[in-house]
Amino acid sequence: MDQIAGFVAQYLFILLIIGALAYLAWRQRSRWLELAFATVFIGSIAFLLSRVLDQLISSPRPFVVSGQPPLIPGALDNGFPSDHTLLVAVVAAVVTLANWRVGLVMWALALLIGLARVYARVHHLVDIAGSLIIVAVALGLYLLSKRLVSNIISRSSTTQPDTGNQRSKFSERQ
């Protein structure tokens, strides 16, 4: 059991990223620009939030607190938030934009990786929950900004007067 948990905690994220990229390239080719922008937006917001919260929330790693060795190598830095979980959650958020059902599977796998990291004694549950919440907030901000931009564009296209017609009417009067 320890070997499986160690693999999931340390390496599964690589396979999931490769799988998500292959899925998006194969099934979502027509939306690659939108999904690339979403990846940059969500990833950047999640990264910035994680760095800010890393400075505000102290969560010493479980193996540091307990003295028990971790199942996998772990850094001695602050454990909040879990970078592995954060990365897979960002991938899950982007996949969710492409297909919500496949996205739900990716979110579950992000949680599985996080729980494996808890089992491996390199993170606490709060580190995992924090990563998932950070990415959920970043996804929410992306969807909100997308809606705001869409509303601005639709308003500007419907409220702008047709200047071409006004000029022709004006020139007819002269």
Q: What are phi and psi of 143, to 5 degrees?
A: -65, -40
User: Per-residue pLDDT tens for 19-44?
Assistant: 999 999 999 999 999 999 999 999 99
Q: In the prediction, which pLDDT does 66 show?
A: 93
- Whether 81 has a pLDDT exceeding 80, the answer reads yes
Residue 74 lies in a domain: yes
Looking at residue 84, which CATH number applies to its domain?
A: 1.20.144.10
- Whether 170 has a pLDDT exceeding 50, the answer reads no
Least confident of 5-14, 57-66, 119-128, 152-161: 152-161
Q: In the prediction, which pLDDT does 155 show?
A: 87
What type of residue sits at position 3? Q
Domain that holds residue 6: 2-142
Residue 162 lies in a domain: no
Residue 155 lies in a domain: no
CA pair distance 2, 137, nearest whole angstrom: 33
User: Per-residue pLDDT tens for 142-151?
Assistant: 999 999 999 9
Contact 61, 76 (CB under 8 A): yes
Contact 89, 137 (CB under 8 A): no
CA pair distance 151, 148, nearest whole angstrom: 5
For the chain, the domain total comes to 1
Residue 163 lies in a domain: no
DSSP code at position 30? G
Contact 112, 8 (CB under 8 A): yes
Residue 166 lies in a domain: no
